[in-house]
Structure 1
Amino acid sequence: MKVIKFGGSSLASSEQLKKVIQIVSDDATRRCVVVSAPGKRNPADTKVTDLLIRYADAVIAGRDYHDLAQEIIARYQEIALGFNFTPEDFAPIKRAILNLPLAKYPDNNYLMAAFKAHGEKLNAQLIARVFNLVGIAAQYLDPAEAGLIVTDVPDDAQIEPTSYINLRKWQNNAKVLIVPGFFGYNEHGNICTFSRGGSDITGAIMARGLNADLYENFTDVDAIYSVNPNIVPNPHAIGHMTFREMRELSYAGFSVFHDEALIPAIQGNIDVNVRNTNHPEAPGTIIAAQIGHNKNYPVRGIAASKHFCGLYISKYLLNKEVGFTRKVLNILYKYNVGYDHMPSGIDDITVIIPEANLTPDIEQSIMSELQTTIQPDEMHMIHDYAIVMVVGEGMRDTLGVMARSTTALAKAGIRLQMVNQGASEISIMFGVAQDKADLAVSALYGEFFKQN
């Protein structure tokens, strides 16, 4: 049995939905379909999720929202009319959109979560109806009925382990299950969403809960590429990769697959196949626990993630001061600022922080408190910081990957602000100026792929 997930671009219009119907019809083992909200029909278009966010913002601010509601209704109506829905058929979806502001929510965070989740919820209801109209016996399965319980965090929920037990009863369902992605319900029955792009997470949860043989994730690219095609034209396509490689690359900027979505698949030991809705004949990329390695390609992929900052702290004999790092982290914790990495020397450390975690006021407070508490010899914040990662399971068994990387970056005239290799030896991280990130990716790609 396969669980299959379609992204927003695959469901943006009635024409796209016809491709989805064909894909599901072509394989009788595709028994669970997880759907996103309708995405962009063209580059100038707006995703339904973004329209719903504007709708929620208008409701919260007390502004007129009727035009926004009608724009959202029109998006679903275009899909419905492509399958000859009558006004009576479409009425429940229209009514649900108009009634969103009238419902009661614990606070505005839950209101926003509920509005956003309805992009997927209504699309799944519509698609289940369409499937039945075209002869595919289908059933809409709401996360509440499925027993998909999540933690009580409105916009960044995590799955509760009991959900997997609840999902077992749906393993042999007679009809194709149509499941909305992106959200679940907390123990109080309130909608809580996963982080943005979380329909991938729902797909992996369903795959694990239903004990699927394969999780197929359909998007708008033929495969996962070794580098961002917007940086390097026609890059090397990845046929197979490991879960660990994908996790590292997703974190570092690969946008094809949500990095958290791999965790349920890893836990369930379920292979993931990333494929293209528009070219379903293409084999795509298989992500699995273990794969063989090509000695000619020790690096699987190269990615860059921008918008970081680096808190640099230098103090003589720092290595002998017990509790120094704890003092720094306690202050970050006090201001609810998480960090991602902390490379260090004997007299200095750099704390890598996502820029979005800081505001100017928070940054000033942290720097002031650090100055008083740890009395550094030197301390400053490095803004416009980017992380570039070289990732590959084969790197562990290949000599000279670090040397080749730094040489390629030096030839491109890129100064390294930080170098860090993980204990797993499958990734090397470079800190560079933000405006040099794409150049760094291009230089590294030329070293590890163009020459082979």
Structure 2
Amino acid sequence: MKVAKFGGSSVANAEQLRKVGNIIKADPQRRFIVVSAPGKRFKSDRKITDMLIELGEVHCNNGQTDEYVYPIMQRFNEIVEELNISGEILESISQSIQSILHSKNSDPEKMDALKSIGEDSSAKILSAYLNHIGISAKYVNPQDAGILVSNEPGNAKILPESYEKIYNLRDSEEVLVIPGFFGYTKNGKLITFSRGGSDITGSIVAAGVKAGLYENFTDVDSVFSVNPAFVKDPQKITTLTYKEMRELSYAGFSVFHDEALIPAYKDEIPVCIKNTNNPEAPGTYIVSEKKPSEKCVVGIASDTGFCSIYISKYLMNREIGFGRKLFHILEDEGISFEHAPSGIDDMSIILRESGLPIAKEKKILQRIQADLHPDLISIHRNLAMIMIVGEGLVRTIGLAQKATTAIASANVNIEMINQGSSEVSMMFGIKAEDLDKAVKSLYHVFFE
């Protein structure tokens, strides 16, 4: 049996939902369906979740909400009318919104409840539509499905006892439609996962029911070896390991939320990324292990928005507790780091620029200077990271030379190299303005 998750673009309007219905009808093994909130119908459109967040912010600031509720209901009304299903669903959605707005819950609780409306409504609409076209289907609230989570608004974590409860869903003979993105605490409080969390729900359900396959339907035929924004018609990846996908999703590949695969990974459930608009395409399979003969480098991921704190101090390696003191300063200031390549007398801390605002920069430098007394300290902004990903990469002779030569031939200077900390990736830091030509040169060397 299969779990199929449909993303925002797959449920954006009635036309897309009809495609979803056909996909479910085409394979009786697709027994468990997880849905996102309606996404964008066109480039300049807005996602329902963004509209709900805006509604929540206005409400929390005591603003008038009617003008923000109206376009949300209009979107759902359009979908329901075009699918020719009962208008009672619209009344249910409207009542849910008003109930949240007029509740006595705290603002964070209201915000989580409002954010969940998109997925919850998608599930109710799809369930009604499936029954309308002759498929016996049932909407299942995450609480009834057994999705128990920690009490961390906006950042829920699944509780281990959930999986035994979710397994009971196998007893149903109907197609079960479950909203993604949220669960409930043991006390019955609705809590959402982090943004993009519908992928997490899909993976949780797949692990819970012990599915043979978890299908994740989106709007691309497969995962590509490089971002198509850099290279026209890049090679498609047919098979990835979980580790490779994790590295790629972290470093700019937006197909998957980077936490999403953990439940499926732990139970070794294969995942297939497929296209709602072209369901016959084979897609990309994500598996526990690949055949050793398959190509080592599977993808080149990249992302901008990084900065580095560079610290140099003679005999740093002999100073006990230097790293601990440095990381304590970052922790104390609420700053998380991404990478920390180091040498004998030098250390670079790679951060997301968003995590080190200019306003906080001076204080950080002063604290490092006062506590660690470095010989040199500097901050470099506007960096990009390029990650070459592949199982067995660090054991492949000459691969690092091949990569550095490709970057050099593009006339790009390497600011930082991080090799060896991961078995499946090699990372290079460069100036953000050089990203395009560096990625193209690497793709040419490894894939063309």
TM range (shorter): over 0.9
Aligned equivalent of 2:38:
38
Aligned equivalent of 1:90:
90
Q: CA deviation at 1:136?
A: 1.1
Aligned equivalent of 1:405:
403
Where in structure 2 are the equivalents of 1:222-233 lying within 5 Å? 222-233=221-232
Where in structure 2 are the equivalents of 1:187-226 lying within 5 Å? 187-226=186-225
Aligned equivalent of 1:344:
342
Letter in 2 for 1:274: I
Shifted more, 127-136 versus 33-42: the winner is: 127-136
Aligned equivalent of 2:314:
316
Distance in 2 between the 1:431 and 1:191 partners? 41
Aligned equivalent of 1:289:
288
Q: CA deviation at 1:198?
A: 1.0
Q: CA deviation at 1:48?
A: 0.4
Q: CA deviation at 1:235?
A: 0.1
Contact 2:33 2:177 in 1 (8 A): yes
**CA distance change for structure 1 residues 381 and 186 in 2, over 3 Å: closer, same or farther?**
farther
Aligned equivalent of 2:175:
176
| Residue 162 (structure 2) pairs with residue 163 (structure 1) | yes
Contact 1:148 1:185 in 2 (8 A): yes
| Residue 148 (structure 2) pairs with residue 149 (structure 1) | yes
Distance in 1 between the 2:426 and 2:203 partners? 28
**CA distance change for structure 1 residues 168 and 279 in 2, over 3 Å: closer, same or farther?**
same
Aligned equivalent of 1:105:
105
How big is each residue's C-alpha offset from its partner over 1:285-316, in whole Å with a ceiling of 9 and x where there is no partner? 00000112456x32100011211111111111
Contact 1:271 1:286 in 2 (8 A): yes
Contact 2:203 2:260 in 1 (8 A): yes
Distance in 2 between the 1:62 and 1:411 partners? 57
Aligned equivalent of 1:136:
135
**CA distance change for structure 1 residues 67 and 377 in 2, over 3 Å: closer, same or farther?**
same
Aligned equivalent of 2:389:
391
Q: CA deviation at 1:133?
A: 1.8
Contact 1:34 1:202 in 2 (8 A): yes
Distance in 2 between the 1:423 and 1:88 partners? 55
Give the secondary structure class of the aligned counterpart of 1:228: coil
Cα RMSD of the aligned pairs, angstroms, is 1.4
Letter in 2 for 1:229: P
Aligned equivalent of 2:437:
439
Contact 2:89 2:124 in 1 (8 A): no
Letter in 2 for 1:167: I
Contact 2:149 2:157 in 1 (8 A): yes
Q: How many residue pairs are counted as aligned between the two chains?
A: 448
Q: CA deviation at 1:61?
A: 1.4
Report runs of 4+ in structure 1 exceeding 4 Å deviation: none
Distance in 2 between the 1:70 and 1:25 partners? 33
Q: CA deviation at 1:400?
A: 0.9
Q: CA deviation at 1:110?
A: 2.4
Q: CA deviation at 1:358?
A: 2.3
Give the secondary structure class of the aligned counterpart of 1:171: helix
Contact 2:36 2:180 in 1 (8 A): yes
Aligned equivalent of 1:74:
74
Distance in 2 between the 1:90 and 1:381 partners? 53
Distance in 1 between the 2:350 and 2:81 partners? 50
Uncovered stretches (5+) of structure 2, i.e. residues with no partner: none
Aligned equivalent of 1:280:
279
Q: CA deviation at 1:423?
A: 3.9
Letter in 1 for 2:191: C
Aligned equivalent of 2:270:
271
| Residue 113 (structure 2) pairs with residue 114 (structure 1) | yes
Task: Output the TM-score relative to the length of structure 1.
Answer: 0.96
**CA distance change for structure 1 residues 114 and 126 in 2, over 3 Å: closer, same or farther?**
same
How big is each residue's C-alpha offset from its partner over 1:56-108, in whole Å with a ceiling of 9 and x where there is no partner? 111011222212101000111111111223444532122223333112323x2
Give the secondary structure class of the aligned counterpart of 1:388: strand
Distance in 1 between the 2:175 and 2:420 partners? 43
How big is each residue's C-alpha offset from its partner over 1:170-213, in whole Å with a ceiling of 9 and x where there is no partner? 12211111111111122332222212111111000000001000
| Residue 8 (structure 2) pairs with residue 20 (structure 1) | no
Contact 2:85 2:128 in 1 (8 A): no
Where in structure 2 are the equivalents of 1:236-251 lying within 5 Å? 236-251=235-250
Aligned equivalent of 2:413:
415
Distance in 2 between the 1:62 and 1:270 partners? 46
Aligned equivalent of 1:186:
185
Shifted more, 224-233 versus 119-128: the winner is: 119-128
Shifted more, 173-182 versus 354-363: the winner is: 354-363
Letter in 2 for 1:48: I
Contact 1:69 1:98 in 2 (8 A): no
Q: CA deviation at 1:4?
A: 0.3
Shifted more, 109-118 versus 392-401: the winner is: 392-401
How big is each residue's C-alpha offset from its partner over 1:203-262, in whole Å with a ceiling of 9 and x where there is no partner? 000000010000000000001000011111100000111111000111011001111111
Aligned equivalent of 1:359:
357
Distance in 2 between the 1:67 and 1:165 partners? 43
Give the secondary structure class of the aligned counterpart of 1:232: coil
Q: CA deviation at 1:279?
A: 0.2
Give the secondary structure class of the aligned counterpart of 1:3: strand
How big is each residue's C-alpha offset from its partner over 1:19-77, in whole Å with a ceiling of 9 and x where there is no partner? 00000000001000000000011111111011111111110112222121010001111
Percent sequence identity over aligned pairs: 45
